[in-house]
Homo-oligomer: A and B are copies of this chain.
Amino acid sequence: MKVTIREVAIKAGVSPITVSRALNSPDLVRPDTRAKIEKAVTELRYRPNPVAQGLRSGKTRVVLLVVKHKRTYDPLLFEFALGVSDTFQQNNYSLLIHLTPDGSVSVDDVTGRADGVILTDIEENDPRIEKLARHVPVAIFGESTLAVSQVDIDDAWGARLATEHLLSLGCQDIVMVAGDGRALYMKHRIRGYIEAFTEAGGNPTIAYGSLDLIGGETAIRSFGRIPEAIFCASDGMAVGVLRNLTSLGIRIPIVGCDGLQLGEMTTPTLTSIKLPFYEAGQKLAEAILDGIQGKEPVNIRIRPDLVIRESTHYWEGRTSRCDSSRNEAASPTLT
């Protein structure tokens, strides 16, 4: 049933080791012997046994991806996983998933099973990092002061991009609708807005709310005025803001954050900061692969892009400062 290197060797009239060489370092084998071996390999449908290779080499060609289960699933996480997966497939690595409610992993989940670990949902001073990094290369999606490979999305930059875009439209009274600043990435977004707006001479104003549509719908009320433009810390919030304002017959430039498909389905469609989760997955996969090969840890911050859609496009090219122009915009619709 299972053909081993031995059968191939016999069929090709050589020794097993020559077969191994023909497969791993073809240059060390004379072309004609190699041809015989390749013939035997295809005829017998020989495939090297990864487990045996693993035992020999001490490598599994597997990486463990640790994911925390969230009740409200984040579609971006799926993009991320795809980026990781694609990169691994290109490198003949496999992806082992460790899915737990709290993201916990033990060293035993890794040693002997995987050559490295990718950690997601990193918290400040995340205890898992040091624990694992003593035994196996670690790469994290997030940030840490420890000497492990880390890839993160530059949220502050994204917020700056959004703010500067609104500034470029001539808006001077730009407010932000944010989530509570417990999560690191939210702190960065808030900081990015504050820095960019302050540099432009603005006086930052922030309302806080939940990251979903409701948060947007309600948070905006707390400003006590209609600002000239709004930067929302999530697309969900932005849709809420959009809806609320539209129901009041108000239309002002709005920028969301995430770059979800959701933003293509609203009326007007939503300008947003597109977070490069797929790319982050790729980079993280490369980072851990490098780490496995003994290279030094890398520290990568990926900058998001601004995707301009209708919610701000309307004002582009105008030189005058924004006005809270009232118009008969259709009810914003999720589609």
**A residues touching B (Cβ–Cβ < 8 Å)?**
47-52, 54-55, 60, 62, 65, 69, 71-73, 75, 78, 81-82, 85-86, 89, 94-100, 108, 111-113, 212-214, 217, 239, 261, 265, 333-335
- Contact at A261–B82, with CB atoms within 8 Å? no
- Beyond A55-B52, A214-B335, A334-B334, whether A99 also contacts B111 by CB under 8 A is no
Q: What 7 A-B pairs have minimum CB-CB distances, sorted nearest first? A: A214-B335, A85-B99, A73-B75, A51-B54, A73-B78, A50-B112, A97-B97
Given contacts A47-B111, A112-B47, contact A99 B81 (CB under 8 A): yes
For the complex formed by this chain, how many copies does it contain in all? 2
A20 to chain B, nearest CB (A): 16
Residue of B whose beta carbon sits closest to that of A59: B51
Residue from B82, B97, B335 within 8 A of A85 (CB atoms): B97
Further contacts, 16 of them, CB under 8 A, given A71-B261, A82-B99, A94-B113? A47-B111, A51-B54, A54-B54, A54-B55, A62-B96, A69-B78, A73-B73, A73-B75, A81-B99, A94-B96, A97-B97, A212-B335, A214-B265, A214-B333, A217-B333, A334-B334
Asked whether B334 lies within 8 Å of A213 as measured between CB atoms, the reply is yes
Return chain B residues, CB-CB under 8 Å to A97: 65, 81, 85, 95-97
- Contact B95–A99 (Cβ < 8 Å): yes
Complex contact A51–B112 (CB within 8 A): yes
Q: How far is the CA of A284 from the CA of B51 in the complex (A)?
A: 25
